[in-house]
Chains A and B, each alone.
Chain A
Amino acid sequence: MRASGGMQEASPQALFDEEFLKKIEYLYVMSKKVFTGRLRADRKTRKVAAGIEFADYRNYAPGDDFRALDWRVFGRTEKLLVRLFEEKEDLQIAFLIDVSASMRYGTGAKLRYAQRMAAALAYIGLCNMDRVSLFAYSDKIVGRLLPLSGRGQIFKVFHFLEGLESGGGTSFEEAFRRFSDSSRRRGLAVVLSDFYNPGGFENALNFLHYQQFETYAVHIEDPAERNISARGDVSLVDAETGEALTLTMTPGILTQYARAYDAQCRQIESYCVKRHMLYFRTPVDLPFDEIVLKIFRAGGFLK
C-alpha cells in the first residue's frame, strides 16, 4: 500500500475487499471536494502561549506563563495582559460499534453494515488528520482501538473491525460510561447501533451529551426485522436474551408489530432531534456509500 493511500493493493479480506476499498477511496475524494477549507484538523482553538498567529489579549491571571505577557502594552497602559495565539487542533472521533447479538440477526447484515460504515468514516477521518478511535460494545466494552491518525493507520482499523465478534446483550449505559472514562479528550461520538436496549436508549445518549461529546446516532436496521414472514403458532425467541414468547402470528398481529416498529424508530429520531443529536436511519439494503455521501452530508456529519 502506498503512503498516498492508494487502496488497490489492500487487504484481501472478504469484509473489506477490493471493491470496498475503491468505494472508500472514492468517498474520501468526494469529501475533499465537498469540505475543502473546512477540515477539522484545522480546527482553531485559542490557547495561551501556543501557536504562531496572534489572536487576542486577556487579563493576566496568576499562574499564566510570564513569557506570554505583552510588556509593551504594560509600558503604555500599566496593565498586565497576556497574548493569546490561535492553535490548530485535530479532532477526536470515536466510533461506538454495537456488537450485541441482535446485530447478527438474520444473516448478520447489520453488523457487516456497521463495520463497513465505521471503516469508511474512519478512513475519511484518518485522511483528514483527525484522531480516530473505535470501541466495540455489547453490555460492556468488548474491544477498543486507541486513537490513530494518518491514512496509513487504516489497516489497523480494518484489522480491528475484522476481529469483532457479535454476542451478548446490550447495555448502552455501562458501555458508554466506560468509554467516557477512558477518553480524556472530548470530540465526536458516532454510535452505530440498532438501538435495541432492554433498558432504553435515552439515558445512554443523554450521558454522552452531558459528557460534552458531540453525538451522532446511526440507526442500523434490517428490513427483515420489520417484515416478518412467519405465520401460525410460533415461539419468538430474543436473539440476545434467549427469552421466549409464544404467539399466534396472524395478519393483524403482524400489522400491529409493523406499526410498533415504526413508532420505535420515530421515537429514537425524535429524541435525538430534540437534543440536537444527528440521527440517521440506515437500512442495510441501502448502499453505505450513498449513506455516507448523501445522508451524512445533508445531516452535517462531515463539516
Chain B
Amino acid sequence: MIWNGYSPQILLPVVGVIALILIVLYLLRVRRRTVEVAYLGIWKQILHTAPRRRWTEILRRLISFLLWMVIVGLVALALMDPRPEVEDVPGRHAVILIDTSASMMATQPDSTCGRRLDCALLEAQRLMDAMRPGDRVVLVEAAGHVGSISGPFSGDREALTRVLGSVSARAASDDVGKAFELAKSLLRERDLSEIHLLTDGQFAPDAIDLDTLHAEVAFVSHVVGAPAGNLSVTRFNARRYIANRMGFEVFVEVHNGFDQPVTLDLEIWGLGADMFQLTEAGDKILIDRKRLTLASESSEVRVYENLPLSSGRIAARIRLVDPADLQDIMPEDDVAYAYIPDFARPRIACVTSGNLFLEAALLLNENYSVRFIRPDAPEIMVDGQVSLSALAGQYDIVILDNSHHALSSVHIDDDWAGRAVFINPTLAYSPFPAKWVRNPIIERVNARHSIARWLSLRNLNISQAHVFSGVSQDDVVLRAIEGALIATRKRDHQRLVAIGFSLVESDLIFRVALPVLIINIVDWLMDESSQPLLGYATGEAWHVRVNPGMVRGNLKTPSGRVHEGLVAYEGVMTAYGDEAGFYELRDAADLTRVVTFAANFGNARESDLMRPVIRLESSLHRASTWLEPVPEEEGAFLAFLSRLPRSAQHIWVLACLLVALALFLEWFTYHRRWTV
C-alpha cells in the first residue's frame, strides 16, 4: 500500500484536531437545553405515565456521532489516497499539439482516414489510449488562437476523447512556435514530460528550431500526409477606378503547386445577397470563365476590367482541367471572395460668389453631384445668417469658398456634425485659430496624408494667406514657415478641411494639381480610397471600419453563426473569423445597418503542400516513453482498471458525497426536531 496523497504524518494530527472538535460539538449538541416552565406540577403528573427512553434512541444518537467520526476518517483516507503498490507508476505529462491550420483540411489520397486532420486525431487517440494511471495530458490547438482546448492537465481519458471529437480544421495559419512556447510553459518543472506535435509539417520553417527544442524537452512529431501538389487562388480583390468610381477592376492570382504544368479554368461568379459562400445551389451568375495553363509551381495574375457589375458579392474559383489524373487535394483554397460595396455619388454644395477654377474642377468630375449656391441665397439663410447645419443635412459635403462677408456668422464647434471645406476663411469663421500673412513660404508637405497623394505642392506660390495654428502635425497637409496652410480635423461626426488661401491668389489654379487636390479632399472627406476594397485574411484579427454611430455589433459568419457583443471604438470594430466567405457586421442598435466584407485564406504557405518542414519519413520519436509497451505486472492491473465502470474510479468522491448527504439529512432532521 502506498499513499499517493498527503502523507499520514501531516494529515493525522489535523484529523485528530478535527475529531476533537467534532467530539466537543457533539457533546454541545446533546447537552440538555434549559426550558423554563410556569409550573412543573403538570409535567410531574405526566412523567409518571411517560414511556422511558428506549435504548434504540440512545443508539441512534451514538450512531450519528460514530457516523461523523467515520466521515472524518474517510475524508482523511481519501486525502491520503491509498493505492496498491502495483499502481505506483510515476505519472507522465504530455502536451499534445494539434495542428488545425488550413493545410490540415487537405485529403490524403493514399490514406484511409480521409483528411489530414482526421489522421492527426486518430494519432491523438492512439496517444491517449496509451495513457496509464497517473498520466496527465493537455490538448493544445496550434493554429489561429493558440491555447488549451481541454483545460488543465487531465487524466480523464473519456473527457479528452470528447474534446478530440470537437476539434476541426480552421482556415487559419498555424502558429507552431507559439504553441511550443505554451507547451514548454505548461511542462515547466514537471517530470517525465513530453510534447507531441500532430501536424502535416506545413508551417513556417523558422517557427521552431528542432535541435534547440530537443535539447530542452522530449519532443515527438507525428507527421500526417505526404507532400502533394495543390491549386489555389492566392489573391483575389477588387478596387474602384479613381477616375470612374462607378466602375471597378478585379485582381486574381492563381498558383500551381504541382510539379508539372496544369490547365485550369478560372471562373468569376456574381453571388446573390443571401449567399455567404460559393455553393452549387443559390442565386449566382457566371460572369467570366478563362482557361489558363500554368507552368509547374508558378503563379499567374489576371486583372478583369469593367466587369458587368456595379456592386455586390463576387467569387473566383479554379477548376483543374488537365491532366485528368491529377487530384487537387485541398479544394477549400480554390475559391476566393470579394465584396464591392455600393457607390453613391457624393452630394456637394459649393457656397461661392463665383470661382470658375473651382467650379470647373468640380463639374468636370462625373463622380460628384454638385450644386453651386450664392452666399446670400435665401434657402441657406436662417434668421439672416448662413446655416451650415441646414446645408449639412442636405449635402454630404459643404464647400465654403472665399465669401467673407456672408459667411462671417458661420460658427463651427466641436459638436457640429458634417463634412465641410473652408477655402480662405476669415478670422471670424475659421475652424482653426488663424493669422494673415503675405507671401508664405512652403516649409513641408505631409506626404503621408491622403490629401497630398499624387501632388507636388512644395513650389506653390501664394500671394497672401491665413495660416492656422493649434493643428497637430498629422493633420497638417501643407505647412508654411508661419503655420499650416492646409489643415484637417477629424472627429466622430465631423470632418473639416481648411485651405488658408484663396485659390485665385495662388498659382494652383494653373496646375493640374487643383482637380487632383479636389479629388483627394472629397475622397478624404467621404472616406473613399482607390485602395483595394474591404477584404480580410482568415485567422487574423480584423479591424473593420463601421459607421461612427455604431457601438455594438453582431458578426454573422459564412456558416451562419452569429457572434454577438462586438464593440466598436472610434468607428473601428475588431472581429475574428476563420472561415473564407462573406461576413455581415450588423449594428446591434439598428439591425438594418450592415457592413459586409469578404475574408479569404490568408496565408499562401498553407496552400503550398509540396514542401513540408517536417516530412513523414523524418518523424522524430526519440526519447519518448509514451508509446512504450506496459510492463506485464502492470498490464494486469491496468486491464482490471479499464474494466471497472467509470464511476468506480471515483469511489472516494462518491463516498464523500453520499456521507455528506447523510450528514445533511441527519443535521436537518435534528434541527427540525424530527429526530431527537
Contact = CB atoms under 8 A, between A and B. Distances in A.
22 contacts: A105-B38, A194-B38, A194-B39, A196-B38, A231-B673, A232-B676, A233-B31, A234-B35, A235-B35, A236-B43, A237-B34, A238-B40, A239-B36, A243-B40, A244-B34, A246-B32, A247-B47, A248-B53, A256-B49, A257-B43, A260-B46, A264-B42
Contacts of B57: 248
A234 B676 CA distance: 11
A66 interface: no
A105 B34 contact: no
Given A230-B35, A234-B34, A237-B34, A260 B42 contact: yes
Contacts of B37: 105, 225, 228, 236-239
Contacts of B377: none
Contacts of A222: 38
B32 A234 contact: yes
Given A236-B43, A243-B40, A256-B49, A250 B676 contact: yes
A102 interface: yes
A241 interface: yes
B10 interface: no
Given A248-B53, A257-B46, A237 B36 contact: yes
Nearest to B44: A245
By Cβ-Cβ distance, the 3 closest A-B pairs, closest first, are A231-B673, A105-B38, A196-B39
B45 interface: yes
Interface string B64-80: 00000000000000000
B1 interface: no
A130 interface: no
Nearest to B40: A238
Contacts of A234: 32-35
A253 interface: yes
Interface in B3-56: 30-47, 49-51, 53
A196 B53 CA distance: 28
Contacts of B41: 196, 198
A257 B38 CA distance: 13
A236 B42 contact: no
B83 to A, nearest CB: 44
Which residue, A194, A241, A253, has most C-beta atoms of chain B within 10 A?
Answer: A253
Nearest to B39: A196
Nearest to B33: A234
A295 interface: no
Contacts, number: 87
Contacts of B49: 256
Contact of A247 (B30, B38, B43, B45): B43
Nearest to B49: A256
Contacts of A239: 36-39
A11 to B, nearest CB: 30
A239 B43 CA distance: 13
A35 interface: no
Interface in A235-275: 235-241, 243-250, 252-253, 256-257, 260-261, 264
A172 B30 CA distance: 39
Contacts of B51: 252
Nearest to A256: B46
Contacts of A106: 38
Q: Which of B30, B35, B38, B45 has the most CB of A within 10 A?
A: B38
Contacts of A240: 39
Contacts of B33: 230, 232-235
A235 B34 contact: yes
Contacts of A250: 676
A234 B49 CA distance: 18
Name the residue in B30, B35, B673, B676 with the highest tally of chain A Cβ atoms < 10 Å from its Cβ. B35
Contact of A257 (B30, B31, B42, B673): B42
Contacts of B673: 231-232
A233 B31 CA distance: 7
Contacts of B30: 233
Contacts of A237: 34-37, 40
Interface string A22-61: 0000000000000000000000000000000000000000
A34 B502 CA distance: 113
B340 to A, nearest CB: 82
Nearest to B45: A260
A70 to B, nearest CB: 61
A105 B43 contact: no
Given A102-B39, A239-B36, A248-B53, 7 more contacts: A231-B676, A238-B37, A238-B39, A245-B47, A246-B32, A247-B50, A261-B42
